[in-house]
Amino acid sequence: MPKKLAAGNWKMNGLRQALDEVRALHDACPDAACDIVICPPATLIRSMVKVCDDMQIEVGGQDCHENSAGAHTGDISAPMLADTGASYVILGHSERRATYGETDALVRAKTLAAWDSGLTAIVCIGETLEQREAGQTLEVVGRQLQESTPDGASPETLVIAYEPVWAIGTGKTPTLEEIGEVHGFIREALVKRFGPEAQDMRIVYGGSMNPKNARDIAGIANVDGGLVGGASLKASDFYHIVKALDG
């Protein structure tokens, strides 16, 4: 079985003093059994890489452009992320899909760009509340999974994050049974498409995981970690999630 992954998405939060939270997290769990990656805002990536140099904590970006260079004011390319020392990148997060109109095709192109630069892509998929209430969850998740991920994926290059859009930042979560159903569906789809090695592809849960529910969610079959938002900003909160994923 693959090691579980605790991935922190800081979103648009964090100034330089926030690096102290990374140091505190390491001090609290220096020998974590799960993999830890933190994706801070771009302004902190290089500084965080330096802080994490002697730690078992990796650093990632929150997005990248599909092109390696060009006249794209304000954007960051995958080679730029790799040049900072980042090793992961979050792609297709529901906030970017909703706010910037990112399509599955664009997420697919960004994933290819990430792979070309040696980055592991954390590709986000998930349904809205309206889609869930209409009984379309598996249809939506299946389509996004198929169209957002390129051929040739491997456990080393791809992590899937299931994030029910309606649960992000709301404090609401699906039932454990509902999470298990979707993660099981994703596993079957990955194995059907990529073969037996897809059993080792990590599928993480990304809908308001917090210190109170992390242990229960981590115990669900095919949940290989968490993509954590607000609860990753403070070491005192993220520590409990890391420990829950450690088992």
Our answer to whether residue 72 is catalytic in this structure is no
Burial of 177 (0-12, 13-18, 19+ CB in 10 A): exposed
AA letter at 234: K
Q: Which of 176, 169, 77, 182 is nearest to 126 (CA)?
A: 182
Q: Catalytic: which of 21, 58, 65, 93?
A: 93
Q: Which residues pair with 77 in a beta bridge?
A: 65
- What is residue 77's three-state secondary structure? strand
Q: Give phi and psi for 61, each to the nearest 5.
A: -95, 170
Catalytic residue among 66, 163, 183, 240: 163
Q: Single out the residue of 139, 143, 155, 227 nearest to residue 191, CA to CA.
A: 155
| Catalytic status, residue 181 | no
Give the active site residues. Answer: 93, 163
